[in-house]
A = this chain, B = another copy of it.
Amino acid sequence: MSENPDLTNERASGTFDTNAMAAVIYGSEKFAQRRREITEAISKIPEFQDSHPLVFMSREEKISEACRKLAVLSNYWNSLIDTSDEEEALHLYREVLGLEGHPLALHETMFIPSLIAQASDEQQEKWLGRAQRREIIGCYAQTEMGHGTNLRALETTATFDISTREFILNSPTITSLKWWPGALGKSANWSIVIANLIIKEHNYGPHPFMVQLRDEKSHEPLPGITVGDIGPKMAFNGADNGFLGFKNYRIPRENMLMRHSKVTSDGSYIKPPHAKIGYSSMVKVRSRMAMDQGLFLASALVIAVRYSAVRRQGYLEDKSREVKVLDYQTQQHRLFPSIARAYAFIFCGFETIRLYDQLLIDVQNGNTSGMADLHALTSGLKSVVTYQTGEGIEQARMACGGHGYSMASYISEYYGVAIAGCTYEGENMVMLLQLARYLVKSIEMIQNGKSRELGPMVAYLAEKESEIDLNLGPNEYLKVFEYAARNQTWRATEKFQKLRNSGMSNEKAWNQASVELTRASRLHTRLYIMSTFINHVGSIVDQKVKGVLIDLLNVHVTYEVMDIGIYVQGLLSSNQMDLIRNQLYVSLETIRPNAVSLVDSFQISDMQLRSVLGRRDGNVYENLFKWAKSSPLNKTDVLPSVTQYLKPMMDKSKL
């Protein structure tokens, strides 16, 4: 079937080359090209297709389907991608396995990296190869049923038995059960387990241990191990997140991961050379999140924008044919600022990963000074990006009306997966308050006359406000954000200090100022996002691509400043606010002809998108009908529930 002419027309109105834009989105022409090649190669391998739509499957079926594909993948791995390129592997996983999780996800992203980072050379000798060859499947068990973000409170113990030179693992309470680790429930047979190291009744705090969970032949849990799946979740139902309990479960001393801390056979504890080790993997995961979330948002927008160019409802001037819903200003206002954010998050992801890579080099050279900055930044970034992504995806879904609510749109699955990011890798409120600590310290430096020592990202906190001339472009909007973030950071800090100076404890004062502090963190983070967006666009060479990105940037800066209007009352006059508001509406119209091309540029294949509504060819309705007819309830015309319960009820009434 040919392409829906409504989409053909949209594509014809685009002013730039989507391949050139894809090169910008994915960081290089080379990688954008590789993505297309991998997608093309995969499409030719029938075993990689979903057996039937994932949304029709039970959890057991989803997990089984994922395992089937993983087994197939292991045959094609080397022929499809450059296995040394993490991005290519991620793309392959996204295409074939999708986003609902799978039993090897933690093996690749946490188990192997942790072995590399935390196992000694001898330990790597023993386990790393086995893990990389997938002789064993591992996971990473840290979070407990009663303990998440606060690691100090973990309860699992690993007590050193000096007589046998073993650690005895125990879960002393119900709240100490490991809870949530991915692939732990049914798939993994080994795990890195974080437990309190106890030697001679002294608790040295949480340390990592390599623990075998299941027999390698029978896959049955070993004696002393309680393990299982934690049940269905809002999303990620293709993953077997698990629980894990220990009862006097013994492992050899050599199973404590000893790259950093060590326990000798006589029970002596040897401290790691410096304390902040392990910290950087957290920073790395959070750095990646901006990019991943940007792609989740992008996916939802691909679906919503394409569908909005096909869906017609109501009338404007022409009463003979209903209008594309994308022509309504309310629809554009729902979708286009989110397109801008998706681009912004992805660009911001690049920049943050660049900073991370730089940090790694610095740390190797013994310079850890940038660590706190980047840790604070990624904490805030993670919070703002996950929240705004969730918000944007839901607006995209609602913009699709009733069919958005059908699993045929698949948008709610994107929402479920993306919004989990508000909670995992550090709960958002806690993360915002971590950034706030850094901001308060920065203010204290200024108060103590040390403004010059401020890092580049917080230098603006010491600056005075300047006149704003909105005609001068995006950088003026940046100044508006600087004003807002600076003002709110000072306000929140002063509230905290005032409470503390009034005799309140530090903790109580902090708590009472905490809502104001989180606001400061959000504004600081949004300033960073806007600033990286502006810089990134500035660096682009292709003039057509740059032109449309400047239009998109105009949507972004005007929308974001309107959105934080309450924080800039002291700076902007009501005339200036009116000007920005009107500018936003003009920008929405300007971007309209490029809307479909802007989402096409993400080059997310139909296979990966898994959305009937978001199909590239726009043939939505025929395929929606086809999809529905093939759904499980339609295997039979008369359901057993009717025969068993409804019919007897109806028949009885007739007596």
Map CB proximity to B onto A216-251 as digits: 1 under 8 Å, 0 otherwise.
Answer: 101111000000111111100000100100000000
The B-contacting residues of A in range 87-137, CB under 8 angstroms, are 103, 133-137
**Which residue of B is nearest A65, CB measured?**
B641
Cβ of B174 and Cβ of A633 under 8 Å apart? no
CB nearest neighbor in B for A143:
B402
Instruction: Give complex CA distance A2, B534 in Å.
Output: 59
Query: Would A633 and B67 count as touching, CB distance under 8 A?
Result: no
Most buried by B among A55, A58, A234, A428: A234
Given A232-B55, A401-B427, A642-B186, A134 and B621 contact (CB-CB distance below 8 Å): no
A133 → B minimal CB distance (Å): 4
A565, CB-defined interface residue at 8 Å? yes
* Alpha-carbon gap, A63 to B636, bound state (A): 14
| A631: Cβ under 8 A from any B Cβ | yes
Contacts of A74 in B (CB 8 A): 649
- Which stretch in A16-24, A478-486, A566-574 binds the other chain? A566-574
Residue from B71, B311, B397 in contact with A648 in the complex, judged by beta carbons closer than 8 Å: B71
Interface residue from B315, B402, B407, B565 paired with A507 (Cβ < 8 Å) = B315
Number of identical protomers: 2
Q: Which residues of chain B come closer than 8 Å to A390, judged between CB atoms?
A: 394
In the complex, which residues of chain B have a beta carbon less than 8 angstroms from the beta carbon of A137?
A: 646, 650
Q: How large is the interface on A (under 10, 10 to 19, 20 to 34, 35 or more residues)?
A: 35 or more
- List residues of chain B with CB within 8 A of the CB of A185: 633
A207 and B433 alpha carbons, distance in the complex (Å): 59
> Across the interface, which residues of B come within 8 angstroms of A401, CB to CB?
148-149, 423, 427
Contact of A628 with B518 in the complex, beta carbons under 8 Å: no
Report Cα–Cα, A644/B624, bound state, in Å.
33
A186 (CB) vs chain B CBs: closest residue: B639
Residues of A within 8 A of B (CB): 55-56, 58-60, 63-64, 66-68, 70-71, 74, 103, 133-137, 143, 145-150, 153, 174-175, 177, 179-180, 185-187, 216, 218-221, 228-234, 240, 243, 311-317, 322, 327-331, 333-334, 390, 394, 397-398, 401-402, 404-408, 412, 416, 419-420, 422-424, 427-430, 433, 505, 507-508, 511-512, 514-515, 518, 565-566, 569-570, 574, 585, 621-622, 624-625, 627-629, 631-634, 637-650, 653-654
